[in-house]
Chain A
Amino acid sequence: MIETARYRLLLGLLAAAAIILFVLSLTVGPAAIGFGESIAALFDSKEAGPLALIMQEIRLPRAILGLMIGATLGLSGAVLQGYLRNPLAEPALLGISATASLGAVLAIYTGFSLVFPLGLPLAALAGAVVAVIVVQAMAGMRGGALTIILAGVALSSLAAAMTSLALNLSPNPFAALEIMFWMLGSLTDRSMTHVWLAAPFMVVGWAMLASVGRSLDTLTLGRDAAASMGVDLRRVQLLAVLGTAASVGAATAVAGAIGFVGLVVPHLLRPFVGARPSRLLPASALGGACVLLAADILVRVIAPGKDLKLGVLTAIVGAPFFLWLVYRTRRNLL
């Protein structure tokens, strides 16, 4: 089968690109360290010099988080587009990013994050949990795609309003500034603790999302046809919503809201997998990892010392690119 061979080649290329970008991410940074030196320092377990410290405590978690969060955004975007049968679906649509952000903002606002270092990501995860409960309760067990979209939109708006309120009432300008900066989304100065906090949620989320691939293929023909072919729609909905919440909630908790990756990457790769939803999932996960790692390298190369935020770059590059995609495919969309 030519199609299957082409698909394997695509996955191979994407995986290779992800590995290359991962290594590049490890070797690019303000501390000018040679390539060989940096890799050696990464695996240096005895000597606790500044080199090893930078590599193991700063760059390694950053690269790992870039890989994991990118994969999360790509995968969840592909699953949601497939499940909702809507090319405009993305992880933020369920309101998970917004409520997770609100949780984090409240942690900063109340000073909880100062007292307890992991307070911020934990509060963000709690926010994601709230989103799941609300969306799932609204959509109900028989709920359709439209209900989920509308519930997500309403929840996002409410969370955004609450975030604005926190900013509005912020007691000092520094807290407000911290909130603003956090919301822009970044991978700077994350530690291995963040990796260990996010990884379990992401892995569980990925497993849930990956398990619905086949059902998404069948859903191409609509909900009734899928149900008549033995797909349990309630199970698919639960797995899609919970999987997105666990993985995207964890991603937002450690890095803030990073937009457009989950929307653009599945679009970009869909033509290369014959539009087949199940094949889009692994491709989109790898593609998301590539895009996020590349963007995180770019913010360090474009403006060293300026701390350009990752979320700002993905939006600045992603939005015009998405417009171009819409322009190119508008005839097919109508």
Chain B
Amino acid sequence: MLNGVSFSVGEGEFVGLIGPNGAGKSTLLRAALGLVEARGEVAIAGQNAAAMTARERARRIAYLPQEREIGWPVSVEMVVSLGRAPHRPAFAGLDGADRARIENAMGRMELEEFRRRPATELSGGEKARVLIARALAQDAPLLLADEPTAGLDPSHQIALMRLFAELAGEGRGVVASLHDLSLAARWCTRLVLLDRGSIIADGPPREVLTRERLRSVYGVEAHLAEAEGGMLVVPLDMAAR
């Protein structure tokens, strides 16, 4: 699937992982977590990830999978508290610091009023916010999110991008795979463009998103513009072959 892919994420970076369907965005994220078999090296803060236990890795990387299915009608609060699992010894309960992080994550995603509601009864957008709060509660220095904006309305999409930018501003690293190129261009500090398992471009949004690349990688003609201090990318039509 992926070949010769190499990149690193620094503190304070909000990296947008972009590329057409099947380019290998999800696979790259999952390989970084050790969820799929991969050759090559993954290092977290200079340490080899392969030598870490799953729990050690979970304290360093939080992951927001594409799948948003919640198996049982458990309360919103319980879902968010799962984020603390990697930080607790095997049979210990939550301590004060854990509770504070859970409250903080729920507050950030504005979930207080849903606290006791079964998470399965929420709307798609609300459910997505609950799962993001869960990842926030994990409190890892690196957050990997697989299409976090899918199924969210524009205001929640922007709220989410703002949150990720804030997290990066606090000194964390954030990597999100995205399909909305304008959203990616306006909010990410850096974009990594993947196509057929290889990195095509890696750099600031304005350097990565060019008309030629959109034509060769996505096969679309696009209108690039500037608005309100950020870039706009509007795909117009299929590129002529």
CA distance A227 to B61 in the complex (A): 11
Contact flags A222-262 to B (C-beta < 8 A → 1, else 0)? 10110111111000000000000000000000000000000
8 Å CB interface, B40-66 against A: 53-59, 61-63, 65
* CB-contact partner of A229 in B34, B71, B75, B85, under 8 A: B85
CA distance A332 to B73 in the complex (A): 9
- Assess whether B79 is in contact with A228, with CB atoms less than 8 Å apart: no
- Assess whether B71 is in contact with A85, with CB atoms less than 8 Å apart: yes
- Assess whether B79 is in contact with A220, with CB atoms less than 8 Å apart: yes
* A267 CB to nearest chain B CB (Å): 11
Any chain B CB within 8 A of the CB of A277? yes
* A65 CB to nearest chain B CB (Å): 30
- Assess whether A229 is in contact with B138, with CB atoms less than 8 Å apart: yes
Query: Number of contacting residues on A, CB 8 A?
Result: 23
8 Å CB interface, A85-111 against B: 85
Question: What residue of chain A has the Cβ atom nearest to residue B119's Cβ?
Answer: A220
Query: Number of contacting residues on B, CB 8 A?
Result: 36
CA distance A85 to B134 in the complex (A): 19
- Assess whether A275 is in contact with B138, with CB atoms less than 8 Å apart: no
Interface 9-mer from A26-34, A211-219, A319-327: A211-219
Residues of B within 8 A of A229 (CB): 58, 82-83, 85-86, 138
Any chain A CB within 8 A of the CB of B224? no
Any chain A CB within 8 A of the CB of B159? no
- Assess whether A220 is in contact with B71, with CB atoms less than 8 Å apart: yes
Residues of B within 8 A of A190 (CB): none
Any chain A CB within 8 A of the CB of B18? no
Q: Give chain A's interface residues, CB within 8 Å of chain B.
A: 3, 85, 214, 217-222, 224-225, 227-232, 270, 274-277, 332
18 more CB-based (< 8 A) A-B contacts, given A220-B79, A229-B86 = A214-B90, A221-B65, A221-B71, A221-B82, A222-B69, A224-B65, A225-B131, A227-B34, A228-B58, A229-B82, A230-B53, A230-B55, A231-B85, A274-B75, A275-B74, A276-B78, A277-B72, A332-B120
Q: Give chain B's interface residues, CB within 8 Å of chain A.
A: 30, 33-35, 53-59, 61-63, 65, 67, 69-75, 78-79, 82-83, 85-86, 90-91, 118, 120, 131, 134, 138
